[in-house]
Amino acid sequence: MKKTSTRLADGRELIYYDLSDDTVRDAADRRPLDATVTSSEIRRDPLMGDSVAIASHRQGRTYHPPADQCPLCPSVGDRLSEIPDSSYDVVVFENRFPSLAGDSGRCEVVCFTSDHDASFAGLSERQARLVLDAWTDRTAELSHLPSVEQVFCFENRGAEIGVTLQHPHGQIYAYPFTTPRTALMLRQVAAHKEATGGENLFDAVLERELAGERVVLESEHWAAFVPYAAHWPYEVHLYPKRRVPDLLALDEAARTEFPRVYLELLRRFDRIFDGRDGGKEGAGEPPTPYIAAWHQAPFGALEDFDGVTRDDFALHLELFTIRRTSGKLKFLAGSESGMNVFINDVPPERAAERLREVASS
C-alpha cells in the first residue's frame, strides 16, 4: 500500500491509498472553494447522560445529486469533484459537512472505489484488503488527536438507510467521548468479569454462539453469527477468533483472511431477498440496504468501568439491514424510538438459516 496525503482547495486533508507503490498523486484541487466553516457543538443530555452533536451547517450538504455530478467520482476534464485526480483506488478525506469538527472530533469520508456503479460486495479481495488497511491507518492517526476518544468506521448503504450519495463509500467518526453503545458494552463486561471471577464476556458470547445454531459462516480466523438477541431482522456479528481491542491489533493472518469472509457476508446479504441461489423472496428486489459498523475499544481512560481495560474489549463488526422481508422495512416506531426496546419480527435462528441458504457455490 502507498499512502499520499494532500490538501483540498479549502484546506481539508485528502489521502490516497494505492495498490501500486509507484503511483504518483500530484493533481491539484482546481475548485474555487472558500475555507470550510462548521458549527458543530456537543451537548450533554442531563437526564440520559449521553451526548448529542448539534451541527446546523449540515442542512446545506449535497443531497442526491445526479450521477454525472457525483462529488465522490474522480475529477475528469472540467468536471471537478472532491477527488482531484482522474482515478483512484481508495481515498479518504475530511467531510465538507462534518457532524463533528475541531474540539468536537472529526468526520471523514472513505471512498472504496472510483467506480460509481460498484458496491463493496463487488470489490476484489485485494481492493477490500486495501480498504481494511485504510480503516486501520485512519484509526491509528485519529487516535492521536487530543480531542478524540473513540474511532468508528462504518458504511451506510441504500436510500432506505438515508444515504444521500450513491457512490460506494463509508465514513469514519472520531468522537471526543466514549459512545453510549460502547459504554453499555463496557458496563456489561465489567459486571460479567466481577460475577465470574475474571471471565471475559466477549469470549463467553463467542464460545456460546460457535456451539449453537446461529453461526452463518466460520473460517480459521473469523466467525460470523446472528446474535441470540438480534435487534434487527437480519443482523450478523463478525468477530476475529483471537480477541483484540481494535483494528490496529489484528495480526496478518486475520487481515489476509478478512476480505474473503467479509465479501462473502455482503454477497449473502444481497441474496437474501432477490430470489437467487434458491432464495424464497421475490426477484427484482433492489440491493439490500445495510449498515456495517466496526466496534473498537475507546482510546481514552476507562476509569468509569470498574477495572475494565482496553484489552477486555473485543473488536467486532456488526452488519444489519432494516429490510425485514421483500418490499417491507423495519421502522423504529414507538417502542424502539421512544423506549429503546426493540421488537424483532424475524427469529434470529431463522435469519441465520436463511443466510446459510444463500451461500455462494
Could you give the residue numbers annotated as active site? 169
DSSP, res 192: H
SS3 for 38-62 is CCCEEEECCCCCCEEEECHHHHHCC
- Residue 185 · residue 200 · CB < 8 Å: no
Torsion angles phi and psi, residue 206, rounded to 5: -65, -40
Q: Which three cell numbers stand for residue 197?
A: 471471577
Question: SS3 helix, strand, coil % of the chain, rounded to 5?
Answer: 30, 25, 50
Half-sphere exposure of 79 (CA within 13 A, CB side): 13
User: Strands 328-329 and 316-321, how do they pair?
Assistant: unpaired
Burial 109-145 (b: 16+ CB within 10 A, else e): bbbbbbeeeebbbbbeeebbbbbbbbbbbbbebbbee
Q: What angle do CA 207, 211, 212 make, to 5 degrees?
A: 120
Distance CA(258)–CA(183), nearest Å, equals 27
What is residue 105's three-state secondary structure?
coil
Spatial distance between the Cα atoms of 180 and 186, rounded to a whole number of angstroms: 10
Cα 225 to Cα 18, 262, 346, 355, 356: the distances in Å are 32, 12, 15, 10, 10
Grid cell for residue 99: 457532524
- Using alpha carbons only, give the angle 166, 167, 169 rounded to the nearest 5 degrees: 110
Q: Cβ neighbours of residue 151 under 8 Å, at least 6 residues apart?
A: 138, 139, 142, 143, 172, 173, 174, 175, 246, 296, 299
Cβ-contact 249, 296 below 8 angstroms: no
